[in-house]
Amino acid sequence: MRGWYGRAVFETELAFAHEIADRAAEISLSYFLGEFEVRQKPDLSPVTQADLEVETAVREMIAARFPADAITGEEHGEGAGDRVWIVDPIDGTRNFADGVPIWATLLALQVDGRSVLGMASAPALGERYEAVRGGGARWNGRELHASERKLDDAFLAFSSVDDWLGGPREDAFVELVRDTRRSRGFGDFWGHMLVARGAVDLMIEPSLRIWDWASIVVIVEEAGGVVTTFEGAEPSDGASILTSNAVVHDEVVRRLSGP
């Protein structure tokens, strides 16, 4: 639904999000391609000192500028309130640790449980994506528009083959790979941003936490794309995520939500 707020309503918050992205880039790039420790969290996902320092800095900046707002972050816990900033300090930590430049700081603002601002800052790629409800989406200042390609001409992105092989949706995944024009495992935030850019037509991930998708939803939808679970429902913490153009979405939901 476009036009719910309009870009001017959150102009201050958007400018602030750019300040946060600049500071996060300073910290993360100071570690990237250097030597640092990579630890495993209880859920077996990796975490680095860069993740921790970026989130700490973001929390301090938000607390200083918007002290009444709550904060939810991947590394330091969840907050609750009418206005909640949601941060993933480094989305794509495995890439970051391996020296692959496809990683980003993700930042969203939710009001009354709905994302109204989203930013994905990928400094190693030199890319920054932003959107505010009703104000369109931009990539390095350029307007974003999802594609209008049909499924047989579509470009499919996914996070990892391991997410699909041997699982309940393996057959549906293989059929999508066969029935689309091409497919690649881009993974993490970038596949979703490529949908917003119109370069990729659909991106599928079986499970994402709220800090992984809160910013993505605004950017993709403001670019004219659609973001739901595989069943076609609103995204929720830990659920599947299907990002696509408006042309293929219903068909892909039918395939992924079937028996």
| Counted domains in the chain | 2
Say yes or no: 19 and 139 in one domain.
yes
Residue type, 91: D
Say yes or no: 117 and 12 in one domain.
yes
Q: What is the pLDDT of residue 5?
A: 54
Among 37-41, 42-46, 225-229, name the one with the lowest average pLDDT: 42-46
Closest CA to 81 of 111, 52, 101: 111
**Boundary (domain end) residue, out of 125, 143, 161:** 143
Say yes or no: 131 and 250 in one domain.
no
Task: Classify residue 1: in a domain, yes or no.
Answer: no
Say yes or no: 182 and 252 in one domain.
yes
Rounded to an integer, the average pLDDT of 140-169 is 94
Task: Classify residue 2: in a domain, yes or no.
Answer: no
Say yes or no: 23 and 104 in one domain.
yes
Say yes or no: 165 and 131 in one domain.
no
Give residue for tokens 């809160």.
214
**Whole-number average pLDDT of the chain:** 92
Task: Classify residue 37: in a domain, yes or no.
Answer: yes
C-alpha span between 214 and 221 (Å, rounded): 12
Q: What is the pLDDT of residue 8?
A: 64
CA distances from 143 to 96, 140, 208, 215, 219 (A): 27, 9, 26, 17, 11
Q: What is the pLDDT of residue 4?
A: 47
C-alpha span between 116 and 241 (Å, rounded): 18
User: What tens digit of pLDDT does each residue of 115-136 get?
Assistant: 999 999 999 999 999 999 999 9
Q: What is the pLDDT of residue 38?
A: 73
Domain extent, residue 156, equals 151-257
The alpha carbon torsion through 217, 236, 54, 85 (nearest 10 deg) reads 70
Task: Classify residue 59: in a domain, yes or no.
Answer: yes
Say yes or no: 130 and 111 in one domain.
yes
Q: What is the pLDDT of residue 259?
A: 59
DSSP 33: T
User: What tens digit of pLDDT does each residue of 139-151 get?
Assistant: 999 999 999 999 9
Residue 48 pLDDT level (bands cut at 50, 70, 90):
confident
User: What tens digit of pLDDT does each residue of 7-38 get?
Assistant: 567 999 999 999 999 999 999 999 998 877 77
Say yes or no: 160 and 111 in one domain.
no
C-alpha span between 198 and 64 (Å, rounded): 37
User: What tens digit of pLDDT does each residue of 169-198 get?
Assistant: 999 999 999 999 999 998 789 999 999 999
How would you classify the pairing of strands 70-73 and 83-91? Answer: parallel
The CATH number that applies at residue 239 is 3.40.190.80
Task: Classify residue 177: in a domain, yes or no.
Answer: yes
Task: Classify residue 34: in a domain, yes or no.
Answer: yes
C-alpha span between 241 and 224 (Å, rounded): 16
Say yes or no: 102 and 120 in one domain.
yes
Rounded to an integer, the average pLDDT of 200-205 is 98
Q: What is the pLDDT of residue 74?
A: 81
DSSP 234: P
Task: Classify residue 196: in a domain, yes or no.
Answer: yes
Q: What is the pLDDT of residue 186?
A: 84
Residues 6+ apart with CB under 8 A from 218: 108, 115, 116, 117, 118, 131, 132, 133, 137
- Bridge partners of residue 84, in order along the sequence: 70, 110
Say yes or no: 89 and 212 in one domain.
no
Say yes or no: 65 and 117 in one domain.
yes
The CATH number that applies at residue 16 is 3.30.540.10
Task: Classify residue 244: in a domain, yes or no.
Answer: yes
Residues 6+ apart with CB under 8 A from 168: none
Buried b (16+ CB within 10 A) or exposed e, 142-171: eebebbebebeebbbbbbeeebbeeeebee
Say yes or no: 113 and 159 in one domain.
no
**Boundary (domain end) residue, out of 98, 117, 143:** 143
**Boundary (domain end) residue, out of 102, 123, 143:** 143
pTM: 0.92
